[in-house]
Amino acid sequence: MPASPAPAPLTDQQAGLLNQLTDGLDGSGLWWLSGYAAGLARGQALVTRPAPAIAAPVTGATASPTLTIVYGSQTGNAKRLAEKLAAQSEAAGASVRLLRADAYPTRELKDERQLYIVISTQGEGDPPDDAIGLVDFIRGRRAPKLPELKFAVLGLGDSSYPQFCEIGRVLDARLAELGASRLFERGDADLDIDSVATPWMARAVEAAKALAKASPARSATVTPLRPLPAAPAFDRDRPFDAELLAGHALSAPGGLRTPRGRDVRHFELSLEDSGLHYEPGDALGIWPRNPPALVQGVLDALGLDGDQAVDLADETRPLREWLGDKRELTRLSRPFLAAHAERAGDAALGALLEPDGRDALARLFDEQQVIDLLQRHPAQWDAASLVAALRPMTPRLYSIASSQKHAGDEIHLTVAHVEYAVDGQSRWGCASNFLARATEGDRLPVYVEANERFRLPADPTRDIIMVGPGTGVAPFRAFVQERAITGASGRNWLFFGNPHFRTDFLYQLEWQRALRDGHLDRIDLAFSRDQAHKVYVQHKLRDQGREVYARLEEGAHFYVCGAIGMGKDVHAALLDVIVEHGARSAEDAEDYLARLQQQGRYARDVY
């Protein structure tokens, strides 16, 4: 007998009421509600005292000895660490509240006693989107003096960016300036996050234990802000081997050949039997492998034997395997460059790491890979030192281009193949090439990275405006599929752009069909190089400013996905639209957009 489907958790009427309740709630309201519901689920304890750990003010001397952990995270790393830290601190006896930065009630900062901040740096030294408000507050003039506060900051970043861990650094310095005492030194974690995060977390847990001992927690009255979600069977550390079902070109041959000469491809993978679930707006993480030819090139450049065993941190593997699966060969890092410059005795190379070498360093990181450095600046490396100095492999994220309601067990991606030449030799991006060279039936290690800040409106009658040029269109394919299958009545408006109509109109037929079937209300196209002057999505947005503003005023949600630079240009265009059509000052327009962002009605996913 076929299994009967699990009953829906809510009746239609309840779902309708929930939509009414949540629609328009800002981040802190939604988090409050989630804590409240979690409390109800745990028993009756919180019924009469809703979600104290999320909303109850910490009130100076009478407060429970709460340790507050706040995270700001764009792609999930800081969130994962903060959740782990909260669990470990609780196990050590502390009463903990864990908050995403946009749920942090800033008025409570002055009454905090112990605060840990785990935060990444994004964009070009910017805060993650969920932490913009908190970082502005702490940096700003309204931040209170904090003589009673003890704090510690863990910054996450990538040392190949010029402003490495900038936001962690800024918050750490500012909290000290406000009179708070640093419990221990800030951690600046590079992409091999654990080497810095693990010892930092150990110190943080020790300090939490001391706090718990000094003033035992009234655990009956303090509940963690949010129960930790049950661990899925597959995640970043335990990826699922998904079968590649299909892959084909989206951009036609003969398109623009930039110095990076990229073509865009559509991939379909199977999640069958994984139990993995995704929502429109989520990303798929992929653990890539370097191509064997590149690994061989590195071995040849250094005269090393790929079969020799290398031990590192209790792992023994042949050197070839370390280089293929476990180390970055396509992205350089500061520590590797420093070590190589020393081995090569190359002072000019070492000078790039000085502050005035910043621009040249950024260019080198952008243009060269490990093999280029080895070929241009020869040096001796032994196998063990090489493995220890190279950066551990990190997964790459791709916006999911399908709705699970539509695609079932499949998951679709839209990927630009990064390829270019250095000294006449072909170079590829690790993950985009890993996908490009995979063939149907291959299995690729993947996991789902949820993105709670990039979600369709809970209210299906709301309009949405989507700006997604290039591969930025990927999540909007998922959005439109989802809204079609759920019968959402709100209007869907897409701004898409790319160099040429003929070669680069990604998913052209699908958009035309969606327009015909009423699943897309309108599409505005910016093919930048099809006319004498360049036209981009931000120009189209300004052209349509009156209608864009009218829809925002009616409650539309606005989404942007794609390149960082485009995201900044669209932000500026949107401010202009609000100034012009809302008859507001520039400052009011900034406030207007900030409010939309807080309400989850202006969401960005830029990379």
Ligand X SMILES: Cc1cc2nc3c(=O)[nH]c(=O)nc-3n(C[C@H](O)[C@H](O)[C@H](O)COP(=O)(O)O)c2cc1C
Binding-site entries for FMN: 73-78, 120-123, 156-165
CA 28 to CA 200: how far, in whole Å?
28
Residue 121 contacts ligand X per CB under 6 A: yes
End-to-end CA distance of the chain: 48
Nearer Cβ to ligand FAD, position 17 or 246?
246
Could you tell me the smallest distance in angstroms from the CB atom of residue 98 to ligand X?
14
**Under rule CB under 6 A, residue 416 binds ligand FAD:** yes
* CA atoms of 593 and 132, how far apart (whole Å): 12
- Decide if residue 156 touches ligand X (CB under 6 A): yes
Q: Does 562 bind ligand X (CB under 6 A)?
A: no
Cβ proximity to ligand FAD, 170 vs 332, nearer residue: 332
157 binds, among ligand X, ligand FAD, none (CB under 5 to 8 A by kind): ligand X
The pair phi, psi for residue 548, each rounded to 5°, is -60, -50
Q: Which region among 7-15, 55-63, 120-128, 220-228 touches ligand X (by CB under 6 A)?
A: 120-128
Tokens 């993947």 appear where? Answer: 446
Structure tokens at 22: 């949540």
Q: Measured between alpha carbons, how far is 78 from 510 in angstroms, rounded to an integer?
A: 36
Burial class (CB in 10 A: 0-12, 13-18, 19+), 82: buried
Cα dihedral 161→165→166→168 (10° resolution): 170
Contact range with ligand FAD by CB under 6 A, out of 88-96, 310-318, 396-404, 578-586: 396-404
Q: Which residues carry a binding-site annotation for FAD?
A: 330, 396-399, 414-416, 420, 429-432, 607
Nearer to ligand X, 70 or 514 (CB): 70
CB of 170 to ligand X, least distance (A): 12
Q: Determine if 398 is a binding residue for ligand FAD (CB under 6 A).
A: yes
Among 51, 134, 361, 415, binds ligand FAD (CB under 6 A): 415
Number of residues lying near ligand FAD (CB under 6 A): 23
Q: Which two tokens stand for residue 334?
A: 């500061």
Binding window for ligand FAD (CB under 6 A); candidates: 55-63, 408-416, 501-509, 587-595:
408-416
Q: What is the CA radius of gyration of the chain?
A: 25
- According to CB under 6 A, which residues from 61 to 100 bind ligand X? 73-78
Choose one: 159-167, 399-407, 456-464, 568-576; the region binding ligand X (CB under 6 A): 159-167
Q: What is the DSSP letter of 471?
A: G
Q: Within 349-378, which residues bind ligand FAD (CB under 6 A)?
A: 366
Using CB under 6 A as the binding rule, whether residue 287 contacts ligand X is answered as: no
Say which residue the tokens 């005492």 belong to.
181
149 belongs to the binding site for ligand X (CB under 6 A): no
Given ligand X, ligand FAD, none, residue 431, with its beta carbon under 5 to 8 Å by kind, binds ligand FAD
For residues 492 and 462, give the distance between their C-alpha atoms in angstroms, rounded to a whole number. Answer: 9
What is the Cα–Cα distance from 113 to 180, expressed in whole angstroms? Answer: 9
Q: What is the distance between the alpha carbons of residues 552 and 559, in angstroms, rounded to a whole number?
A: 12
Residues contributing to the annotated binding site for NADP(+):
528-529, 534-538, 569
Distance, CA of 244 to CA of 411 (rounded, Å): 10
41 Cβ contact list (under 8 Å, min separation 6): none
Nearer to ligand X, 130 or 504 (CB): 130
CB of 453 to ligand X, least distance (A): 11
CB of 28 or CB of 122, closer to ligand X: 122
Q: Residue 75 or residue 274: which is nearer to ligand FAD going by CB?
A: 75
Pair 470, 563: CB distance under 8 Å: yes
**Distances from the Cα of 290 to the Cα of 193, 237, 287, 334, 384, angstroms:** 21, 19, 10, 20, 19
How, if at all, do strands 396-399 and 283-286 pair? antiparallel
Residue 309: CB minimum distance to ligand FAD, A: 27
Site string for ligand FAD, 244-283 (x = CB under 6 A): ----------------x----------------------x
Q: What tokens appear for 367 in the block?
A: 């243009």
- φ and ψ of 141, to 5 deg: -75, -20
Which range binds ligand X by CB under 6 A, 100-108, 153-161, 232-240, 270-278? Answer: 153-161
353 close to 345: Cβ distance less than 8 angstroms: no
User: Is position 78 an interface residue for ligand FAD (rule: CB under 6 A)?
Assistant: no
Min separation Cβ 504 and ligand FAD, Å = 13
CB of 167 to ligand X, least distance (A): 8
432 binds, among ligand FAD, ligand X, none (CB under 5 to 8 A by kind): ligand FAD
Bind-site residues: 73-78, 120-123, 156-165, 330, 396-399, 414-416, 420, 429-432, 528-529, 534-538, 569, 607
Quick one: CA torsion of 517, 518, 521, 523, rounded to 10 degrees? 0
Cα gap 373→423, rounded to integer Å: 12
3-state secondary structure 175-228: HHHCCCEECCCCEEECCCHHHHHHHHHHHHHHHHHHHHHHCCCCCCCCCCCCCC
How is residue 564 annotated by DSSP? H
The partner residues of 96 in beta bridges, in order of sequence, read 67
Is the distance from CB of 595 to CB of 553 less than 8 angstroms? no
Q: Which of 28, 64, 73, 75 forms a contact with ligand FAD (CB under 6 A)?
A: 75
Instruction: Answer yes or no whether residue 194 interacts with ligand X by CB under 6 A.
Output: no
CB of 172 to ligand FAD, least distance (A): 24
Cα gap 147→494, rounded to integer Å: 50
Please state, in angstroms and rounded to a whole number, the distance separating the CA atoms of residues 51 and 69. Answer: 16
d(CA 444, CA 286): 7
Using CB under 6 A, count the residues that bind ligand X.
23
Residue 108 or 605: the one with the smaller Cβ distance to ligand X is: 605
286 binds, among ligand X, ligand FAD, none (CB under 5 to 8 A by kind): none
The neighbouring-strand residues paired with 191 are none
| Binding-site partner at residue 156 among ligand FAD, ligand X, none, CB < 5 to 8 Å by type | ligand X
Binding residue (CB under 6 A) for ligand X from 22, 34, 88, 163: 163
Q: Write each residue from 376 to 405 as x if it is in contact with ligand X (CB under 6 A), else as -, in one continuous string.
A: ------------------------------
CA-to-CA distance for 76 and 124, rounded, in angstroms? 18
Spell out the residues 6+ positions from residue 239 whose beta carbon is closer than 8 angstroms to its own: 285, 287, 395, 445, 446, 447
Task: Summarize as ranges the residues that interact with ligand FAD (CB under 6 A).
Answer: 75, 260, 283, 288, 330-331, 366, 396-399, 414-416, 418, 429-432, 471, 474, 605, 607
Task: Summarize as ranges the residues that interact with ligand X (CB under 6 A).
Answer: 73-78, 120-125, 128, 156-158, 161, 163-166, 564, 607
